[in-house]
Amino acid sequence: MRNALVECADDGVAPTAKKDFNAAWRAAGSGAEADGDRKIHLLVFTSLYPNAAQPRHGVFVEERLRHLVDSGRVTATVIAPVPWFPFRHRRFGAYAAFARVPGHEQRYGIDISHPRYPVIPKLGMSIAPFLMYRALLPVFRKLKASGIDFDLIDAHYFYPDGVAAAKLGTAINKPVVITARGSDVNVLSHYRRPRRQIEWAAQRVAAIVTVSQALKGKLVALGVNPGKMAVLRNGVDLDRFGLRDRAAIRAKLGLKGPIWLAVGHLIELKGVHITLAAIAKVPDVTLLIAGQGPEEARLRQLADRLGIGARVRFLGAIPHAKLCDYYNAADAMVLASSHEGMPNVVLESLACGTPVVATPFEGVAELLDAPEAGEIAAQRSAEAVISAWLRLRERAPTRAATRGIAERLGWRPVVEAQHALYAQVLSAAADGKQPGAEP
């Protein structure tokens, strides 16, 4: 089956998105070609970006940017704001982590600033874009005044970041591209004020990227012009994540028998509680949980209550570079989420030759579209996860075949498509055109 993701893997852009952009910018085609070879300087704006205090926070944004910069066709400055909080003591939890984030740092040779913006409890969801905009506008103006100019604002996460970016782009007269990544559309758009602000921003930005066809469909349902949207999935680093000596890794980790792996932030929507309930009914399986989060204590209690504590290992936060060992050690990566955008953990697992068992969240079929990739459960329940696992175990795809699925999901086609999109946006802006409008 050749779906949107497969087409995206071939040349970087899903066919519907490719058609939309070609129609929207046909008149600017020659200009886009002329601009295609020049180096583009991005101002990347997102609160989802790794930092010294939160090294896994928004790593998927950093991965895309890192490969764009490595292409030699893009340079970037990152502004990754964090909520202001005065106390660093760990008893204050996540807010203390915000306080420990440095004001400036460099990662992979990219300069990153972490200015603060105010967050008001309870009122925060409704006015967060305004607070972010007011706090960041002086930062943007100071950046330009210092001689660090940029071509466009590349914003990630539609709300509040994308809405604030749309306001900032208007204020400093720069085109804006927003990437929608998952819960920003799947969850926040269900609230009246965020939805209205998302709709407002979508009308004003130059282009919108979604990481799955399903997310694009959600935005179209909100009335967003499909002509200014492109589906550009996440990619996976095929060198960092690959087939390793599985027997040696399992021996080093002291693992025997069937192994399931869960990777991600320990929050309810990731469904680790469902995976634990499934493990309780499959007595020969051990579960490795890589991640931290607010649900960890409750999940530990649940494991004890189910009598499976000896078969569940809470690994804590595993550095991104070391996850490859755990993917290789596992027989299946299990993702029981209620919703996702384009989960990197699925891409990484496939690249390591480990098939995936996933619940049927929207967009999952764009990834698990071949038998070698894994199984999609019939519903989000422990029983359905078990059934999917049994089907997968009976079929037993080879690790090389599963890795073969990932070979089409590398970063190169994504980087090419992303760069082409930026060039088209800048060409349209130079000609005074609005992407998505009829020529």
Cα angle value 255/368/280 (rounded, 5°): 40
Which amino acid would we find at residue 420? A
What is the pTM for the complete model shown?
Answer: 0.82
Average pLDDT value over all residues in the chain: 87
CB neighbours of residue 167 within 10 Å: 22
Q: Under CATH, which architecture does the 4-235+411-430 domain have? A: 3-Layer(aba) Sandwich (3.40)
pLDDT the model gives residue 11: 36
Taking residues 347-362, what's their average pLDDT?
95
Is 246-408 the same fold as 4-235+411-430? yes
Residue spans of the domains in the chain: they are 4-235+411-430, 246-408
User: Which residues have CB under 8 Å from 201's CB, separation 6+?
Assistant: 158, 162, 163, 165, 166, 178
pLDDT the model gives residue 28: 32
Is pLDDT at 239 greater than 90 in this prediction? yes
Q: Under CATH, which architecture does the 246-408 domain have? A: 3-Layer(aba) Sandwich (3.40)
pLDDT the model gives residue 365: 87
pLDDT tens profile 64-92:
999 999 999 999 999 999 999 888 877 77
Neighbour-count burial of 432, counting CB atoms closer than 10 A to its CB (0-12 exposed, 13-18 middle, 19+ buried)? exposed
pLDDT band at 56 (very low <50, low <70, confident <90, very high): confident
Is pLDDT at 331 greater than 70 in this prediction? yes
